[in-house]
Amino acid sequence: MVNANVETVQFGSMPIQFSVEFRRRKHIGITVKPDLSVHVAAPEGTPLSDVRARVKRRGPWILRQIDRFQQYRPAPTPRQYLNGETHRYLGRQYRLKIVAGDEPRVRLVGRYVEVVANQPKVVTEVRGLVEGWYRAHARAIFEKRLEVRLSGLRGFAGLNPPLLVRRLKTRWGSCSKAGRVLLNTELVQAPVECIDYVIVHELCHLKLPDHSPAFFRLLARCMPDWRRRKEKLESIRL
């Protein structure tokens, strides 16, 4: 066996980078690892052009595997809902400020998320107020961004997909066969440009439900810098 070489093939508008090792084996094997790396093991003497051709043929499967692993991000540290805890909203960090009051509410005050609670030391009450605030703001912001993005997309005239907003465990959004767009409430913590990326990604699925080269061509036409936005979203630990 020789040291692994790193190669890249273009699958539609999506580059697939992979490492390749030549071993004493009969067939070419392709593995996608949880860290999103792609590894190829090929029989000794196999032309590199054959390896690249095999990776390209397996492009749809490779991208499906990468997408599946991306959906399962490491679980964040459970929220404690205590004074000083960091929370995000539209990409900015805020500190939780919990005070006692007769009229429960949540609002942004400077760099704080101020929570007025009847029982400020009862975590369940504070959590309920904060989560309710996030849900309400997520719905309003997602509806606005969906309207903005739809109005600027060529070829999407007349589309008005129903929008569902709920907390999801493993993904930022999805698009149902019935044409409904579902977005994760947690997405409201990300910058607007990342929210727009998820929305446009799901809108493209209204036309092309898979992750074929045609899908990525459509996504690139609708949002030329989608890779940058995607990488930024993946770098944020919410």
For every one of its 238 residues, what pLDDT tens digit does the chain have, with 9 covering 90 and above? 445 688 999 888 778 999 999 988 999 999 998 778 899 999 999 999 999 999 999 999 998 888 777 665 555 668 899 999 999 999 999 999 999 999 999 999 999 999 999 999 999 999 999 999 999 999 999 999 999 999 989 888 888 899 999 988 778 998 888 889 999 999 999 999 999 999 999 999 999 988 888 999 999 999 999 999 998 888 776 5
Q: Which of 105, 111, 109, 100 is nearest to 132 (CA)?
A: 105
State how far the Cα of 53 lies from the Cα of 56, in Å rounded to an integer.
Answer: 5
Is 86 strand, coil or helix? strand
C-alpha to C-alpha distances, 87 to 11, 96, 127, 129, 164, nearest whole angstrom: 38, 7, 12, 14, 23
CB 55 within 8 A of CB 41: no
Match 């990342």 to its residue by tokens.
Answer: 194
Six token digits for residue 110: 């400077």
Six token digits for residue 204: 């493209």
State how far the Cα of 44 lies from the Cα of 41, in Å rounded to an integer.
Answer: 9
Six token digits for residue 231: 């990488």
State how far the Cα of 65 lies from the Cα of 181, in Å rounded to an integer.
Answer: 22
| CA quadruple 235, 79, 191, 194: dihedral sign | positive
Give the CATH fold of the 86-235 domain: Zincin-like (3.30.2010)
Is 226 strand, coil or helix? helix
Residues of the chain with CATH 3.30.2010.10: 86-235
Query: What pTM value is reported for the model?
Result: 0.72
Q: Which of 153, 76, 154, 82 is nearest to 123 (CA)?
A: 82
